[in-house]
Amino acid sequence: MTEITTGPVAARDVAADRRRGGELRVLLGPRTVGSTSGFMGVAALASGERIAEHYHPYSEEFLYVARGAITVDLDDEPVPLAAGEALFVPRNVRHRLRNTGDEPAEVVFHLGPLAPRPELGHVDTELVEQRGGS
């Protein structure tokens, strides 16, 4: 079990996860600070880049666009978001994030509650090879 940590966590100190596209960094979570109710992090997307479609059977997701412009496809319905806008993604809703702007995008995300085991938290519905551009 990870010890509870209350100090700051810098994005530059967390390895990027690129398995679903973009660069995802979980800053505050069970492995980094010992949280038990959810996790939060940042996703960086270059222009035209996307995070492959998936859903969370146990968690709700909160998204906040800190920089740039993205489109979130919720069950195939596009929802454009600009910097300063947020979106709630309910449990079991398929979603994909696409940077539809000309500049890099940065998105802050939070998911909770946690799945019973980390490998149950995401269900991929799109192969990485199918990601392509916007």
What is the pLDDT averaged over residues 102-112? 98
CATH classification at residue 66 = 2.60.120.10
What is residue 129's predicted lDDT score, i.e. its pLDDT? 56
What type of residue is 115?
A
What is residue 12's predicted lDDT score, i.e. its pLDDT? 94
Establish if 37 belongs to a structural domain: yes
Establish if 36 belongs to a structural domain: yes
> What span, in angstroms and rounded, lies between the C-alpha atoms of 122 and 63?
16
Q: Which helix (H) or strand (E) holds 26?
A: strand 23-28
Tokens of 33: 């600070």
Residue with tokens 């994005």: 11
Domain that holds residue 34: 27-114
Confidence of residue 4 (pLDDT cuts 50, 70, 90): confident
| Nearest to 105, CA basis, from 74, 125, 75, 134 | 134
Establish if 124 belongs to a structural domain: no
What is residue 71's predicted lDDT score, i.e. its pLDDT? 99
Establish if 54 belongs to a structural domain: yes
Tens of pLDDT, residues 65-103: 999 999 999 999 999 999 999 999 999 999 999 999 999
Q: Which helix (H) or strand (E) holds 65?
A: strand 60-67
